[in-house]
Structure 1
Amino acid sequence: MHTSAAWILEGQDGLGSLKLIHDKPAPSLGDYDVLLHIHAASLNHRDLAIAKGAHSLVIKPNVVAASDGAGIVEAVGPLVQSFQPGDRVCTYMVPHQPESEPVTFADIGAGLGQQVDGTLRPHAVYHETALVKMPASLSFVEASTLTCAALTAWNALFGLAARAPKKGDVVLVQGTGGVSVIALQVPGATVIATTSSKAKAQRLQALGAHHVLNYRRNPKWGETARALTPDGKGVHLVVDVGGLSTASQSLKAIRPEGMIAMTGLLGGPPPGENVNTLVDCLMNLCTVRGVLLGTRRQFEEMNRFIEEHGIRPAIDERVFGFAEVREAYEYMEEQKHFSKVCVRVE
């Protein structure tokens, strides 16, 4: 039996619950299992929420933290057909999920980093359905960012083929988290991005944003985004990461028959503003679509697209070592990061 160092959650009382152990046993290789040498992992806001016990997120005792990672297959079970030793792969958050089945909150709650041991360890055994081949063009650190944020962005942009942005469309993305930063790299579209930092605005522009709005200086950024569109009718697609905190401005920005992809729940409504309801879809003649992760088939499609178009996921300039995991969590909690916070596992 393999043992591995691992960062586990002893409880859900905040970052103090994270503990590095050195003898985490790995289960023996089953018929459909893969032994993975994890080289890199990345963090999501979900990982902070799990450590704090927020949103009623429940863990199995002493679960290995985090869901996102990339590495090399070292061995496979006798009935594994999808992988062979030497394959470079990313983790998929929801093992055993049919390849085209939409993912629910319940599915994610039963997945990696919560009920299934996650990626903050050098060696892991996963069912083959918890892995996809990574783009050959990416490093392990870059590929470790794809599991959650990039796949969510892909689903938001291309999950409904009839609404996928095309050349000349205007897309609005919010903030500088992983979902927004990968979404702004969609080829052919005009992208409007929001941030509250001049330094981050410069990075957004360097990655391809055509316009950057400061949402703190301009609380009516949704109206400004609408005014920036060539015909003044509004944007074709909003990738909304804030939920109630941003929904009202997303509705101000969207054009008739446009679509808002709701991908996050980062905050409540601004002071003095009403909570938006389904009736707002009628009043603004738009579609609002809930987007949660994506299917395994979409993950494979996205990886092919990344490779074909030479897309490189943006990561924060600071990459943490394996011994610095708690510092990585703190860095993300303090919102010091740009796009994705990554950890070199080994």
Structure 2
Amino acid sequence: MPPVDTQELTVNDISQPRKGHWQLQAIVGQLRSARDDWRRQNGRSCGQQGGRELPSREAIKSILEQLCGALFPMRLGPVDLREESEDFYVGHTLDAALNALLIQARLELRYAARNGNCDYAEVDTHAMHLTQAFAAALPELRRVLDTDVLAAYHGDPAARSVDEVLLCYPGVLAIIHHRLAHHLYRAGLPLLARISSELAHSATGIDIHPGAQIGQSFFIDHGTGVVIGETAIIGERVRIYQAVTLGAKRFPADESGTLHKGHPRHPIVEDDVVVYAGATILGRITIGKGSTIGGNVWLTRSVEAGSNVTQANAQHDGSAV
């Protein structure tokens, strides 16, 4: 067959390709074979019947949007909401969000129990209890988030109102997601929590692991490139700037090379600390209360309360590098 001159193809030729043009039957079969191979290699059942096995990223995104609206209805809720219908909107939205969250919690817990002899009825009951506890925690989460919003407003001279902060600041969006995700993480729903935090990461460039413990009145200014690890502990009234990393210094592994999971490996940042842009703080070290860590500092040792660490003094004493 002679080569086709694509310059002579008409719009009709392009928009309506010949039947069988994509060889879909063969490709679909090859994709099924690849899936079955992966499932066998990873101990999954092939040809499993039924619905979805894992939580849905899109469902969790919708749940988080609904929760944000319910927490801050007149600012993050629908554009046509009026104060006289605020409670109705919050109740209706929470009902939808919590029912959807229950479904996702069931999926995660069933997935975790798939290789055991666990009774799915018990799993579903546990999912209900976790979702009820999450719902009951929302008023206190709202109060804590108010301290974060105020910290952003008071900490940034460019902020003209708390409403601007809530509507516009990526650090505030990231901490809203984190506070919700952290509750899920502590409740035993780490996959839902991780998806929640990664949705905020994608939207803001701020990467906070849901396991990180963060005190009240927390403010991330600008935010892009911030990384906070799983076992980090942050006190109250802490302010950090863009491109700050609170990370691990090393990753211990067993004899087979498998990394140890869950051990404390990230910094402890005490109350009233400021960490300026580009600083990298690594390992299970403590930044004492009221300290200031300057821009682009590389810090791998603990510092006492009230310390002022800059590139110059870190390089001078050599112990911070």
Class of the TM-score when normalised by the shorter of the 2 chains: under 0.3
Structure with larger RCO (C-alpha < 8 A, sep 6+): 1
Higher helix share: 2
What TM-score do the two structures reach when normalised by structure 2? 0.25
Larger strand fraction of residues: 1
Q: Which has the larger radius of gyration?
A: 2
